[in-house]
Amino acid sequence: MLLSNDNHLILTLDAGGTNFVFSAYQGGREIANPITLPSNAHDLDRCIGAIYSGFEKVSAELPRPADAISFAFPGPADYSLGIIGDLPNFKAFNGGVPLGPMLEERFGLPVFINNDGNLFAYGEALAGFLPDLNRRIIDHGGIKQFRNLVGMTLGTGFGCGIVLNNILMEGDNSNDAGIHNTSNRYNPVWNAEESISTRAIQRVYCEGARLHSTSLMPKDIYEIAVGLAQGNREAAIRSFQIFGEALGNSVANMITLIDGIVVIGGGLATAWDLFAPAMFKEIDRMYFSPSDEEYARLSVKVYNLEDKNTFEEFATGSVRSISLPTGNRAIRYDELQRVGVGLSKLSASKAIAIGANAFAVQRLTGKD
């Protein structure tokens, strides 16, 4: 599906626990001025009223009626039916609320709701990181093209979505890839998110600085780590190193399962310069057999796609030409098995909105 050529008008929503941001997209481009309203997350009537009002205000600004509503909303949920379940940050929805059918009834439009991790990955796969990467490979004279993408979001929590050959992987229970509940690199009784999240950076900083608690956010701890603010610099640096190692473990596990590109986004991704070295060191960590033989953790070579010094090697690979025994023709192929990990060039909310646009178009047209 070439999203840029599509003309459907799609109403979108960035659903935060404090504010709702409403907009509209067409062909992967924002075509409306965003409208922000309080979410009223603890009052169902006011929350639903805000959702109705936001979509109505955006609709009034469009040149013609919208074709669908599509957005990410926190789970648990039955996204296919549009039913939102018990949400930690949206207490108003406890007990289950048929949000999708309510919006369909109100606006007379198809309504598509999904998880933010899924839509982030979908946006990056169809109109973000993946097509841009494939263009760059061709521009550098390479022949390899990537079809699969894992999108990871780093912030308050740890999210993930998977797109295989332009098809969004949707679980039977409406979950995203559920990476937050995979095993933890440092503590077997924790899930991965306890070391890959805002609270993880805060906790490790407190441990190193010998504090019981802190009101510092990761941005503040980052500034301490790079010498822009006062604080325990060693503890700040270590908090991002531990974060990077834990993330590298999760990335390596995901690459083992999904043979494709990994793109990282979200608020904490801005600290790439601090956590990426530890992340790649963990990804490249060797395994040992019981007899102490060393072997590679992964069967593919993993590249840092933000490293300009190695991108040429990644893009061009190792192309060979093999002739058939008959001599009638030769086959060119790239024998270097590789994937890459890179940094989203979009904000997470932008990628999610583009993913919501693409998800609606896919559902309306049946085209992948």
Three-state SS at 206: helix
pLDDT at 178: 84
The DSSP symbol for 285 reads P
Indicate the fold that domain 129-345 takes in CATH. Answer: Nucleotidyltransferase; domain 5 (3.30.420)
Residue 367 confidence (pLDDT) above 80: no
Indicate the fold that domain 3-114 takes in CATH. Answer: Nucleotidyltransferase; domain 5 (3.30.420)
Confidence of residue 201 (pLDDT cuts 50, 70, 90): very high
- Token pair listed for 310: 């190695």
3-114 and 129-345 have identical folds: yes
Residue 76 confidence (pLDDT) above 90: no
Q: Are strands 148-154 and 77-78 parallel, antiparallel or unpaired?
A: unpaired
CB 321 within 8 A of CB 330: yes
DSSP string, 170-187: --TTS----GGGSB-SS-
Confidence of residue 271 (pLDDT cuts 50, 70, 90): very high
Nearest to 56 by CA among 32, 92, 73: 32
Residue 16 confidence (pLDDT) above 90: no
The DSSP symbol for 318 reads -
pLDDT (tens digit per residue) in 308-328: 999 999 999 999 999 998 878
pLDDT (tens digit per residue) in 139-160: 999 999 999 999 999 998 999 9
CB 100 within 8 A of CB 114: no
* For the chain, domain boundaries: 3-114, 129-345
Residues 78 and 297: their CA atoms lie apart, in Å, by: 37
> Which residue is it, tokens 């407190």?
206
